[in-house]
A and B are shown apart, each in its own frame.
Chain A
Amino acid sequence: MKLTKEQLLGFYKTMTTIRAFEMKAAELFAAGQLPGFVHLYAGEEAVATGVCANLEQKDFITSTHRGHGHLIAKGGKIDLMMAELFGRSTGYCKGKGGSMHIADVDLGILGANGIVGAGQPIATGAALACKYKKNGAVVVCFFGDGASNRGTFHESLNMASIWRLPVVYVAENNMWGISNNQKNHMNVADIADRAGAYGIPGVAVDGNDVIAVYEAAAEAIKRARSGDGPSLIECKTWRHRGHFEGDPAIYKDPKEQEAWLKKDPIPRLAAKIIELKYASRAELDKIEADAEAEIEAAVKFAQASPIPSPEDVFTDVYAE
């Protein structure tokens, strides 16, 4: 598959925007400016970017507690996301959800989720709706290696496989369920192998190679859109940070961390772009600087936004 200059530069913009968002969130959290807790996606940007580049606005995703990257890649608005992290009434959820519950149903974002594995049945149901309505839309379900051990995984993939639903399950294997390494929480090396239990395609790809992710997702999404049913894609990656901000990640071997940092998906894509002569280093630097400026503007928007009124606690429980 030949990717165009515009596509690769688009990937670079999305990935650097996610990285800038996450590093700014880390800084703000450390400075005590963000309530609650945040789980950062730094290091895993190639997964959301490569997958969502195949999606249209009418398509749906379900995300996770580590969801900022998915939301940005699906077109989520940076300023509304940042305002939500700050708990402001201009935020995506009017300050009622926070980092773990950002959603934009109009953009097909059915929510980050605070319960590991909970997105899997929700994505399956959204795919049932797409199939029933025959609207040509597909659903992508993002979840982690830890969530692939939930019963939700089994029930969802089984249900989607028997009903041939238009859904792609994307396992982001960053090798850690909080502090528990994959080798201690499952007896297979590749989560993708589990697809065999449902009679659906399963493929493991280098999740730090955005092009590899894009290509695997393109095939699975084409299959889903044409009515041939679900697929499982495992993207092998690594989270640069702890499980949440404040987690010193003492369970990680520093040498392994160092080795993975060298496989950072952003410099890898930069090298590829420069090798193909699609852009110069200076041009890529400009993309990064623009991303950082967009995040700074979002922070200013959030900080200037009103805090919710105490009486807002009572609204939005029920639809009228």
Chain B
Amino acid sequence: MKQMTYAEAIRDGMRVEMKRDPNVLLYGEDVGIFGGCFGVTAGLFEEFGPERVIDTPISETAIAGSAVGAAAAGLRPIAEIMFIDFMGVCMDEILNQAAKMRYMFGGKAKLPMVVRTPCGAGMSAAAQHSQSLEAWFTHIPGLKVVMPSTPADGKGLMAAAIRDDNPVIFIEHKQLLAVPGEVPEGEYVVPLGKADVKREGSDVTIIAWSWMVQKALAAAEALAAEGISAEILDPRTLVPLDKEAILKSVGKTNKLVIVHEAVKTGGFGAEIAALVCEEGFDLLDAPIKRVTAPDTPIPFAPVLEGAYLPNEEKIIKAVHDLF
């Protein structure tokens, strides 16, 4: 094990896989000598050279679309879209090409590609550089959606995403990039579709992913002080979703709070709530609570952004409402 930040761990996941498989290459805006807008790819250009770590023009459509073509022609590209907010610029390539080619072609194509993109608010980047759009991608069959919350998960899920023969949307949270943690060295794979209990508990299940896992863990600590034992379940990948782990945890605690940074309406929390209602209604002793951002664009001023974001206090309040 080695201490690494989340950014370093994701980079290590890419580096190990690039060493392992010469068909893996990385490209996007400023991923080369600049090391990526958030430094995640720093050093890879120097290590692997300009043939495998390629700076692109500002052309999100061609970045995502060429990843589809490169994957269909036998490579395993990792394409970076600088902010998840820019995915709108290349949505046809994700929605109608990457996600659907295999199915439309009757199963006769493989598209092993990863689209890496950072999400999340908390740095006063306002409405076009702060969103959490994971629900968009979960609504498109053919894609996998990965949202790591820790350095170790970041590395292991990156390896799994690169090795997967399907298009994977790999969403990194900007607020987690500098967060340190213990990370296994060398080859390390966390399988897609396996949730992780980040804290065991018995009174209430809190399902959270990405940055919100940290908020939920902080809330659990405070709740423990008042005698409420919260279990924190991190699905880690939204597609595929570890339904069994969710139902198992709810079966244990009989209460469920879902926390996500994305806006409420149409958020992935609604999907989890529906899953539990359809397949685990009898497990519930109380209504399901959601702690999310409100249905507004993301504001700029720190006080407004603070009011917008879900946080520890909002999670604690939601839990209190169940007791």
Taking CB atoms and an 8 Å cut-off, the chain A residues in 105-126 that contact chain B are 105, 110-111, 113-115, 118, 120-126
Closest residue of chain A to B165 (Cβ to Cβ) is A319
B267 interface residue per 8 A CB criterion: no
Contacts of B110 in A (CB 8 A): 319
Partner pick for B70 among A115, A125, A151, CB 8 A cutoff: A125
Contacts of B75 in A (CB 8 A): 128-129, 132-133
Q: Tell which of B31-39, B56-64, B271-279 binds the partner.
A: B56-64
The reply to whether A125 and B68 form a contact with Cβ atoms under 8 Å apart is yes
Contacts of B51 in A (CB 8 A): 132
The reply to whether A133 and B74 form a contact with Cβ atoms under 8 Å apart is yes
Report if A115-B103 is in contact (Cβ < 8 Å); known contacts: A125-B65, A159-B56: no
Shortest distance between the CB of A27 and any CB in chain B (Å): 25
Contacts of A96 in B (CB 8 A): 103-106
Taking CB atoms and an 8 Å cut-off, the chain B residues in 37-63 that contact chain A are 51, 54, 56-57, 59, 61-62
Q: Tell which of B92-100, B130-138, B227-235, B300-308 binds the partner.
A: B92-100
Contact flags (1/0) for B99-125 with A, using CB distance below 8 Å?
001111111111100000000000000
Contacts of A91 in B (CB 8 A): 106
Q: Tell which of A179-187, A259-267, A310-318 binds the partner.
A: A310-318
Contact flags (1/0) for A120-149 with B, using CB distance below 8 Å?
111111111110110000010000000000
The reply to whether A125 and B73 form a contact with Cβ atoms under 8 Å apart is yes
The reply to whether B102 and A317 form a contact with Cβ atoms under 8 Å apart is yes
The reply to whether A126 and B59 form a contact with Cβ atoms under 8 Å apart is no
Partner pick for A93 among B71, B73, B108, B166, CB 8 A cutoff: B108
Expressed in whole angstroms, the Cα–Cα distance for A233 and B308 within the complex equals 52
Contacts of A158 in B (CB 8 A): 57, 59, 62
Please report the total number of B residues contacting A with Cβ < 8 Å: 41
The reply to whether A92 and B105 form a contact with Cβ atoms under 8 Å apart is yes
Expressed in whole angstroms, the Cα–Cα distance for A120 and B57 within the complex equals 16
Expressed in whole angstroms, the Cα–Cα distance for A60 and B71 within the complex equals 13
Expressed in whole angstroms, the Cα–Cα distance for A93 and B108 within the complex equals 8
Contacts of A223 in B (CB 8 A): none
Contacts of A14 in B (CB 8 A): none
Contacts of B181 in A (CB 8 A): none
B128 interface residue per 8 A CB criterion: no
Contacts of A114 in B (CB 8 A): 96
Partner pick for B65 among A122, A318, A319, CB 8 A cutoff: A122
B25 interface residue per 8 A CB criterion: yes
Closest residue of chain A to B75 (Cβ to Cβ) is A129
- Tell which of A130, A132, A162 has the most Cβ of chain B within 10 Å: A132
Report if A125-B66 is in contact (Cβ < 8 Å); known contacts: A96-B103, A317-B141, A318-B102: yes
CB < 8 Å A-B pair total: 145
Partner pick for B69 among A94, A103, A128, CB 8 A cutoff: A128
Partner pick for A97 among B61, B70, B92, B105, CB 8 A cutoff: B105
The reply to whether B70 and A129 form a contact with Cβ atoms under 8 Å apart is yes
Contacts of A319 in B (CB 8 A): 102, 107, 110-111, 165-166
B77 interface residue per 8 A CB criterion: yes
Expressed in whole angstroms, the Cα–Cα distance for A94 and B109 within the complex equals 13
A305 interface residue per 8 A CB criterion: no
Contacts of A156 in B (CB 8 A): 62, 65-66
Closest residue of chain A to B240 (Cβ to Cβ) is A318
Expressed in whole angstroms, the Cα–Cα distance for A105 and B61 within the complex equals 22
The reply to whether A127 and B69 form a contact with Cβ atoms under 8 Å apart is yes
Partner pick for A122 among B66, B74, B77, B144, CB 8 A cutoff: B66
Shortest distance between the CB of B234 and any CB in chain A (Å): 22
Expressed in whole angstroms, the Cα–Cα distance for A95 and B108 within the complex equals 12
B67 interface residue per 8 A CB criterion: yes
Contacts of B166 in A (CB 8 A): 318-319
The reply to whether A111 and B96 form a contact with Cβ atoms under 8 Å apart is no
B148 interface residue per 8 A CB criterion: no
Partner pick for B96 among A115, A315, A320, CB 8 A cutoff: A115
Contacts of A113 in B (CB 8 A): 97
Contacts of B111 in A (CB 8 A): 319
A104 interface residue per 8 A CB criterion: yes
Closest residue of chain A to B70 (Cβ to Cβ) is A125
Contacts of A39 in B (CB 8 A): none
Shortest distance between the CB of A67 and any CB in chain B (Å): 12
Shortest distance between the CB of B49 and any CB in chain A (Å): 12
A54 interface residue per 8 A CB criterion: no
Contacts of A95 in B (CB 8 A): 106
The reply to whether A122 and B69 form a contact with Cβ atoms under 8 Å apart is yes
The reply to whether A118 and B103 form a contact with Cβ atoms under 8 Å apart is no
Contact flags (1/0) for A167-183 with B, using CB distance below 8 Å?
00000000000000000
Expressed in whole angstroms, the Cα–Cα distance for A101 and B102 within the complex equals 10
A303 interface residue per 8 A CB criterion: no
Expressed in whole angstroms, the Cα–Cα distance for A315 and B97 within the complex equals 18
Shortest distance between the CB of B7 and any CB in chain A (Å): 26
Partner pick for A152 among B56, B65, B144, CB 8 A cutoff: B65
A62 interface residue per 8 A CB criterion: yes
Expressed in whole angstroms, the Cα–Cα distance for A150 and B103 within the complex equals 25
The reply to whether A103 and B108 form a contact with Cβ atoms under 8 Å apart is yes
8 interchain pairs, CB-CB under 8 A: A96-B105, A103-B105, A110-B72, A110-B109, A115-B92, A139-B69, A317-B103, A319-B107
Q: Identify the 6 closest CB pairs spanning chains A and B, nearest first.
A: A121-B65, A125-B69, A125-B66, A316-B107, A129-B73, A155-B62
Q: A125-B70, A158-B57, A317-B142 are in contact. List 10 more A-B contacts (CB 8 A).
A: A96-B104, A103-B101, A115-B92, A115-B97, A121-B69, A122-B65, A122-B69, A129-B74, A132-B75, A155-B61
